[in-house]
Structure 1
Amino acid sequence: MKVTTKGRYGLTIMIELAKEYGQGPKSLKSIAHENNLSEHYLEQLAAPLRNAGLVRSVRGAYGGYKLAKEPTEITAGDVIRVLEGPITLVEGIEEEKPAQQALWLRIRDAIRGVLDHTTLKDLADSGDNNKEEAYMFYI
């Protein structure tokens, strides 16, 4: 499984909305600007997220998007599945030899476990808290 820009940028949208949770809607224009992304592309990603019930759109001059649930209730796996489809590592796994099949299943389950146990709150909290530390190099 390869996560494309759909999954990566969709997760970016969701993390930004999680950071603003409870403070009203946030525009895709501001998310695009802050993350140096295409606003048009983010609009294309917002539709499936809305259809899946992960975000709500708010119309008007101060409109935008907001999470439909609390950030603790939405996982990275929820977002990736909506935008990328099922989380699989190898196609036609049932045709593999038992040892290889077991390996691919263990890897798939490990990936699913990480994605399904990482909430948007986890990602929002870990993002910018140590921005200064992230660029500090010690010799």
Structure 2
Amino acid sequence: MKLTTKGRYAVTAMLDLTLHSGNGPVKLAEISGRQEISLSYLEQLFARLRKGGLVVSTRGPGGGYSLSRPADEIAVADVILAVDENMDTTRCGGMGNCQNDLPCLTHELWTELSNQIRSFLSDITLGQLVRNANVKQVAERQEQELQAPSIEVAVVEKPAEAS
């Protein structure tokens, strides 16, 4: 299984939403700034996440996105599946037709790996992740980076001295 950018960004954005939803709906532009994910890509992901029932949107001033249920009830696997990400490591997509319409030698190995990955990601919730010390540390660093004033350095050339 190769988790693509879509799955990684969806989990990252949902984790950011979870971390910042204490003060009401979170704007996608804020997630985009903190996580360096393009706003248009986030809009596509959140349309799928909304359709998957994981987030709700609020329109108007002060609007944005919120989790549709408590973070402890949303598994990482739910997020990945909502954005149509594949968690299958088999070459045949689990169909068992990998070699001349029959299973290949390693079909069962890859099927079991897929099941283990699915089980692992189903057992981890967004709530668990936000309580992780490393996740908290990264979130704090990201907040500090956004709040720190940027300093521009200008290079000034010295005029040539007259002889």
TM-score by length of 2: 0.72
Secondary structure of residue in 1 paired with 2:2 = coil
Q: Aligned-pair distance for 1:6?
A: 1.1
CA contact (8 A) 2:3 2:85 kept: no
For residues 38 and 82 of structure 2, the distance between their equivalents in structure 1, rounded to whole angstroms, comes to 20
Which residue number corresponds to residue 129 of structure 1? 136
- Unpaired runs of at least 5, structure 2: 97-101, 139-163
For residues 107 and 128 of structure 1, the distance between their equivalents in structure 2, rounded to whole angstroms, comes to 26
Secondary structure of residue in 2 paired with 1:111 = helix
Number of equivalent positions = 130
Which residue number corresponds to residue 134 of structure 1? none
CA contact (8 A) 1:73 1:119 kept: yes
| Matched letter for residue 51 of structure 1 | K
Give identity over the alignment, percent: 37
For residues 21 and 40 of structure 1, the distance between their equivalents in structure 2, rounded to whole angstroms, comes to 21
CA RMSD across the alignment: 1.7
Pick which of 115-124 and 18-27 moved more.
18-27
Secondary structure of residue in 2 paired with 1:20 = helix
Secondary structure of residue in 2 paired with 1:106 = helix
CA contact (8 A) 1:25 1:62 kept: yes
CA contact (8 A) 2:27 2:63 kept: yes
CA contact (8 A) 2:52 2:82 kept: yes
| Alignment partner of 1:70 is 2:77 | no
For residues 83 and 32 of structure 1, the distance between their equivalents in structure 2, rounded to whole angstroms, comes to 17
Secondary structure of residue in 1 paired with 2:83 = helix
| Alignment partner of 1:114 is 2:120 | yes
> Which aligned runs of 4 or more in structure 1 are off by greater than 6 angstroms?
none
TM-score by length of 1: 0.84
Q: Aligned-pair distance for 1:129?
A: 2.7
- Higher helix proportion: 1
Pick which of 88-97 and 4-13 moved more.
88-97
| Matched letter for residue 60 of structure 1 | G
| Structure having the higher Rg | 2
CA contact (8 A) 2:13 2:35 kept: no
| Matched letter for residue 128 of structure 1 | V
Secondary structure of residue in 1 paired with 2:23 = coil
Higher relative contact order (CA closer than 8 Å, sequence separation 6+) = 1
Classify 1:34/1:85 alpha carbon distance in 2 versus 1 (closer, same or farther; 3 Å).
closer
- Unpaired runs of at least 5, structure 1: 132-139
